[in-house]
Amino acid sequence: MRDLVLMWRNTRMVVLCAISGALYAAVLVPFKVVPLIPGVTELRPANAIPVVCSFLFGPAAAWGTAIGNVIGDFFGGVGPGDIFGFLANLAYGYVPYKVWNALAGGRNPIARSPLSIGCYVTACLLASMQCADIVGWGENLLALRPFSVMGNVIVFNNLLASLALAPFLLYAIYPRVCRGRMLYQDMMPELRAMPRAVQLAGLALLAFGVFGAWVAGNLVSTGYWEPAFLPLRMVQAPYDGAVAVVVSPFILVSALGLGLM
Amino acid sequence: MPIYLYLDRETFLHRLNPSVKVFALFVMFWSVYWVDQPLALVPLGVLLVAAAEFTDSWPNFWRLRWLFALVILFTTLAWMVFYRRGPAVANLGIIHLSHASLLFGFGRGLKLAELLATSVLFLSVTKVEELTEGLTKLGVPYRAGFAIMLAFRLAPLFIDSAVTVAQAQRLRGYQFDRGGPLERIRRYVPVMIPVFMGALRKANNMAVALETRGFGRNARPTSLAEYPTRWPDVAACVVLAGLAAGYFLIYYAGYGAIAAN
Question: For residue A77, what pLDDT is reported?
Answer: 64
Please confirm whether the linkage preceding B194 is cis (ω < 30° from 0).
no
Asked if B124 and B8 touch (Cβ cutoff 8 Å), the reply is: no
State the Cα–Cα distance between residues B49 and B28, nearest whole angstrom.
13
ipTM value:
0.86
Local confidence pLDDT in tens for the 261 residues of chain A:
788 988 998 889 999 999 999 999 988 877 766 666 666 666 778 889 999 999 999 999 999 999 999 888 776 666 677 889 899 999 999 999 999 999 987 788 888 888 889 999 999 999 999 999 999 998 888 877 888 888 888 998 899 889 988 898 898 899 988 888 888 888 888 888 888 889 999 999 999 999 999 999 999 888 888 888 878 777 777 777 788 888 999 999 999 999 998
Over residues B182-199, mean pLDDT: 81
pLDDT per residue as tens digits for the range B47-56: 999 999 999 8
Task: Give start and end residues of each alpha helix (H) in B172-188.
Answer: 181-186
In this structure, the number of other CB atoms found within 10 A of the CB of residue A203 comes to 21
The residues in B 43-82 lying below 8 A from A, measured between CB atoms, are 67, 70-75, 78-79, 82
pLDDT per residue as tens digits for the range B72-85: 888 888 888 878 78
Nearest to B148 by CA among B158, B134, B161: B134
Question: For residue A86, what pLDDT is reported?
Answer: 92
**What are A37's strand-pairing partners?**
A41
Question: For residue A94, what pLDDT is reported?
Answer: 94
Test B158 with A23 for CB contact under 8 angstroms: yes
CATH code for residues A2-193: 1.10.1760.20
3-class secondary-structure state, position B96: strand
Nearest to A129 by CA among A140, A118, A137: A137
Question: For residue B46, what pLDDT is reported?
Answer: 93
Q: pLDDT above 70 covers what percent of chain B?
A: 96
State the Cα–Cα distance between residues B151 and B136, nearest whole angstrom.
16
Question: For residue A123, what pLDDT is reported?
Answer: 94
Better pLDDT: B194 or A214: A214
The residues in B 227-256 lying below 8 A from A, measured between CB atoms, are none
Question: For residue B1, what pLDDT is reported?
Answer: 52
Enumerate the residues of chain B whose CB falls inside 8 A of the CB of residue A173: 193, 196-197
Question: Distance of CA A210 to CAs A61, A162, A245, B104, B123, Å?
Answer: 21, 17, 16, 30, 35
Instruction: Produce one character per residue of B127-136: b if its CB has 16 or more CB atoms within 10 Å, e if not.
Output: bbbbbbbbbb
3-class secondary-structure state, position A39: coil
State the Cα–Cα distance between residues A49 and A9, nearest whole angstrom.
24
Reported confidence tier of residue B245, pLDDT bands at 50, 70, 90: very high
Hey, CA dihedral for A195, A201, A203, A205, is it positive or negative? negative
- Please, what is the average pLDDT of chain B? 85
- B261: pLDDT strictly greater than 70: no
Task: Indicate the residue of A144, A148, A176 with minimum beta-carbon distance to B112.
Answer: A144
* Domain ranges, ordered by start, for chain A: 2-193
pLDDT per residue as tens digits for the range B6-42: 888 888 888 898 889 989 988 998 898 888 888 989 9
Question: For residue A16, what pLDDT is reported?
Answer: 93
- B258: pLDDT strictly greater than 90: no
Interchain contact A77–B (C-beta under 8 A): yes
Question: For residue B237, what pLDDT is reported?
Answer: 94
**Chain A, chain B: beta-carbon pairs less than 8 Å apart:** 202
What is the chain B residue with the closest CA to A166?
A: B189
Asked if A148 and A155 touch (Cβ cutoff 8 Å), the reply is: no
Question: For residue A76, what pLDDT is reported?
Answer: 63
User: Would you list the DSSP string of B197-214?
Assistant: HHHHHHHHHHHHHHHHTT
User: How far does CA A64 lie from the centroid of its chain?
Assistant: 12
**What are A41's strand-pairing partners?**
A37
